[in-house]
């Protein structure tokens, strides 16, 4: 039986990052989620609880895991209600619940005992209206591919899955605007659009599982941001159910709309803490007639930087991705996934993609660029793919680094953005700082966006190593006005590190918005915002 304590203990023993820096119980800061008065927990006393919880002892540790907030617990009456509105889609079977209680990295675990699978916005509205009145916490879950513990319950929050909300509502081939429910899988949308001569403006490694609603809720970045910009620009509309069950319809399909504040922006990147995204409309670019992928190697990071600049100048409007990895990534790809280096060994590698409307023009531009890059000795070796299968193989050298890392041991993952010229210095400095303590220290990421994925591995979880990494990595980033979470979000794991990138005034405004839209704090509690306001 998964009680609160068990969930909490599990959380504490499996969490990778300590959540302590702002989590101390000192009186200096105000509690962001002050314990609610018992009166808010109306109904629980006179209801039968789903499980006997008399054995529960509250954890009061000031350390990693947050205190469970005084939400109600799910009763049999609650289940009756859910089963009435979601017949056959109210799941309590522990085996079926297992996968939605654990994140993809298997780094955090909750103890939810109820999974709800609505199909319509109206059903989501009914669920939230009920949960809000009952003070039941809700964890919205898309494809559960997040890396910061944002998509799984921390305690016994009800899991609201968008998996059955997977209908495409409309596609307008003239404007390129797609409108769909939140639970559509990114790859399915991509396939649907490619058949209609369009593409999604975002692409990421998790595309086979992640939901578009989750992408929008986490403001996913990915591989196409360099060309098509962030979701704040390409998402035209969002339909959201607010905590009290009211539907906020901002599902515009217009490119321009200056009638009042752009509310949808609030929900993009709010990680399910301000509302449940039920549908989105997205501006989709035309599919390019010609796509080329290059895999190039160079000797120094400075050369890599210069190659990027050369690319921007010579490939201009056809440049659609500029990714990089270091030789340590290549070693892990060789060792764990048996992927062969398609070129000769180099300290740094680039995956460069172009997308254009005229293959001959693109090839000419690529030829000129490669000639210039080789003759000026920026690039040591390289290969160019025009066929789709070869292009995919080259892309996999970049996309499968995450997978290779999982085979290397316990992962410490950092996702920072920095002025592009400084991003690799963090990897170098971290290596020097750690000496021989880590198994691997690797750097890769989205060069064009100044976004570094710094990953450190150890044979098993290693508290001493972690103490050497943090807060070093955050302080290093903060000192350069970087972001401690470029595209992964804060979720559970990084919520208390927000102050490294945001001022206390900004966090206070965020907390004000949260309190306004979700006064009881039932939506994805313990996530995104820190435990305490400074």
Q: Which of residues 324-383 bind a copy of itself (CB under 8 A)?
A: 355-358, 361, 364-365
| Number of residues located near a copy of itself, criterion CB under 8 A | 92
CB of 444 to a copy of itself, least distance (A): 15
Using the rule CB under 8 A, give the single segment among 139-147, 261-269, 293-301, 394-402 that binds a copy of itself.
Answer: 261-269
State yes or no: residue 250 binds a copy of itself (CB under 8 A): yes
Query: Is residue 316 within the footprint of a copy of itself (CB under 8 A)?
Result: yes
Q: Does 73 bind a copy of itself (CB under 8 A)?
A: no
> Which of 13, 419, 428, 467 lies at the binding interface for a copy of itself (CB under 8 A)?
419
Q: Does 459 bind a copy of itself (CB under 8 A)?
A: no
Shortest gap between Cβ of 268 and a copy of itself (angstroms)? 7
Tokens of 255: 């490119």
Of 283 and 384, nearer to a copy of itself (C-beta) is: 283
Least Cβ distance, residue 346 to a copy of itself (angstroms): 22
Query: Among 46, 106, 256, 464, which residue sits at the site for a copy of itself (rule: CB under 8 A)?
Result: 256
Q: With binding defined as CB under 8 A, does residue 249 bind a copy of itself?
A: yes
Q: Which of 79, 263, 434, 534 binds a copy of itself (CB under 8 A)?
A: 263
DSSP 8-state class, residue 500: G
From 449, 468, 450, select the one nearest 458 (Cα to Cα).
468
Cα 531 from Cα 534, distance rounded (Å): 10
Measured CA distances, 451 to 275, 414, 420, 454 (Å) = 28, 10, 8, 10
Q: Is residue 471 reached through a cis peptide bond, with omega within 30 degrees of 0 on the bond before it?
A: yes
**Exactly one of 61, 265, 383, 425 binds a copy of itself (CB under 8 A); which one?**
265
Residue 71: Cβ-neighbour burial (10 angstroms; 0-12, 13-18, 19+): buried
Among residues 146, 227, 39, which one has the least CA distance to residue 402? 146
Q: Whole-angstrom distance between the N-terminal and C-terminal Cα of the chain?
A: 38
> In the range 196-225, which residues lie near a copy of itself by CB under 8 A?
218-219, 221, 225
Smallest gap from residue 174 Cβ to a copy of itself (A): 6
Comparison of 428 and 504: residue with beta carbon closer to a copy of itself:
504
Closest approach, Cβ 283 to a copy of itself, in A, equals 8
Measured at the CA of 184, the angle between CA 179 and CA 189, to 5 degrees, comes to: 70
74 lies in the site for a copy of itself, by CB under 8 A: no
Closest residue by Cα to residue 354 from 307, 322, 393: 322
**Buried-exposed string 162-192: b where 16+ CB fall within 10 A, e elsewhere:** bbbbbeeeebeeeebbbbbbbbbbbebbbeb
Among 374, 502, 533, 534, binds a copy of itself (CB under 8 A): 502
Element (H, E) at 468: helix 463-469
The least CB distance from residue 146 to a copy of itself, in Å, is 11
Residue 82 vs 267, nearer CB to a copy of itself: 267
In terms of CB distance, is 3 or 143 closer to a copy of itself?
143
Q: Indicate the residue among 296 and 311 with the shorter CB distance to a copy of itself.
A: 311
Tell how strand 168-172 and strand 276-283 pair up: unpaired
**How many CB atoms are located within 10 Å of the residue 437 CB?**
14
Which of 52, 194, 371, 421 lies at the binding interface for a copy of itself (CB under 8 A)? Answer: 421
Residue 116 · residue 241 · CB < 8 Å = no
Q: How far apart are CA 519 and CA 141, in angstroms?
A: 21
Q: How far is the CB of 148 from a copy of itself (least distance, A)?
A: 9
Residue 330: how many other CB atoms lie within 10 Å: 25
> Interaction with a copy of itself in 284-303: which residues (CB under 8 A)?
286, 288-289
Interface of this chain with a copy of itself, residues 147 to 176, rule: CB under 8 A: 172, 174-175
- Per-residue tokens: 251: 């599902």
Pick from 110, 149, 450, 525 the residue near a copy of itself by CB under 8 A.
450
* Cα separation, 160 vs 90, whole angstroms: 10
Q: Which stretch binds a copy of itself (CB under 8 A): 73-81, 206-214, 232-240, 388-396?
A: 232-240
Please select the residue that binds a copy of itself; options are 80, 262, 345, 475, rule is CB under 8 A.
262
Backbone angles phi, psi at 469, to 5 degrees: -80, -45
The residue (of 44 and 218) whose beta carbon lies closer to a copy of itself is: 218
Site stretch for a copy of itself (CB under 8 A), options 43-51, 151-159, 255-263, 373-381: 255-263
CB of 498 to a copy of itself, least distance (A): 5
Residues numbered 399-418 forming contacts with a copy of itself, rule: CB under 8 A: 417-418
Angle formed by the axes of helices 401-408 and 388-399, nearest 10°: 40
Q: Is 259 helix (H, G, I), strand (E, B) or coil?
A: coil
């Amino acid at each position: 039986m998964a009680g609160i304590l068990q969930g909490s203990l599990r959380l504490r023993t499996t969490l990778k990052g300590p959540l302590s820096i702002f989590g101390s119980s000192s009186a200096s800061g105000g509690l962001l989620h002050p314990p609610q008065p018992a009166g808010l927990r109306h109904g629980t006393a006179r209801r039968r609880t789903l499980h006997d919880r008399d054995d529960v002892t509250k954890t009061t540790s000031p350390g990693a895991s947050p205190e469970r907030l005084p939400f109600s617990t799910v009763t049999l009456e609650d289940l009756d209600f859910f089963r009435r509105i979601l017949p056959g889609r109210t799941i309590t079977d522990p085996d079926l619940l297992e996968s939605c209680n654990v994140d993809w990295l298997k780094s955090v675990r909750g103890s939810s005992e109820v999974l709800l699978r609505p199909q319509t916005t109206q059903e989501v509205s009914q669920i939230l209206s009920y949960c809000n009145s009952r003070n039941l916490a809700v964890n919205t879950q898309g494809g559960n591919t997040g890396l910061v513990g944002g998509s799984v319950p921390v305690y016994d929050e009800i899991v609201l899955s968008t998996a059955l909300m997977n209908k495409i509502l409309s596609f307008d081939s003239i404007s390129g605007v797609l409108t769909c429910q939140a639970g559509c899988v990114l790859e399915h949308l991509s396939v649907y659009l490619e058949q209609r001569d369009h593409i999604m403006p975002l692409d990421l490694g998790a595309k086979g599982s992640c939901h578009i609603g989750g992408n929008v809720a986490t403001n996913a970045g990915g591989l196409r941001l360099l060309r098509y910009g962030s979701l704040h620009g390409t998402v035209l509309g969002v339909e959201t159910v607010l905590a009290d069950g009211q539907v906020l319809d901002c599902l515009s399909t217009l490119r321009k709309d200056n009638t009042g504040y752009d509310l949808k922006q609030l929900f993009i990147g709010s990680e399910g803490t301000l509302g449940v995204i039920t549908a989105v409309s997205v501006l989709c670019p035309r599919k390019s007639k010609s796509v080329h992928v290059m895999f190039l190697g160079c000797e120094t990071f400075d050369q890599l930087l210069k190659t990027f600049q050369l690319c921007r100048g010579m490939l201009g409007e056809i440049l659609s991705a500029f990714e990089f990895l270091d030789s340590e990534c290549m070693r892990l790809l060789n060792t764990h996934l048996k992927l062969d280096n398609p070129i000769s060994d180099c300290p740094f590698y680039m995956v460069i993609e172009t997308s254009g409307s005229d293959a001959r023009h693109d090839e000419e531009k690529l030829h000129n660029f490669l000639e210039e890059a080789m003759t000026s000795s920026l690039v040591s070796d390289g290969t160019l793919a025009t066929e789709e299968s070869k292009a995919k193989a080259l892309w996999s050298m970049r996309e499968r680094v995450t997978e290779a890392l999982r085979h290397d041991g316990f992962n410490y993952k950092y996702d920072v953005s920095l002025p592009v010229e400084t991003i690799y210095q963090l990897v170098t400095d971290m290596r020097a700082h750690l000496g021989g303590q880590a198994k691997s220290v690797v750097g890769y990421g989205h060069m064009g966006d100044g976004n570094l994925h710094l990953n450190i591995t150890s044979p098993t979880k290693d508290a001493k190593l972690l103490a050497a990494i943090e807060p070093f990595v955050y302080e290093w980033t903060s000192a350069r006005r970087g972001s401690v979470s470029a595209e992964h979000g804060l979720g559970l794991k990084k919520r208390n590190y927000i102050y490294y990138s945001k001022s206390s005034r900004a966090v206070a405004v965020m907390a004000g918005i949260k309190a306004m839209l979700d006064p009881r704090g039932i939506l994805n509690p313990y996530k995104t915002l820190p435990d305490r306001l400074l």
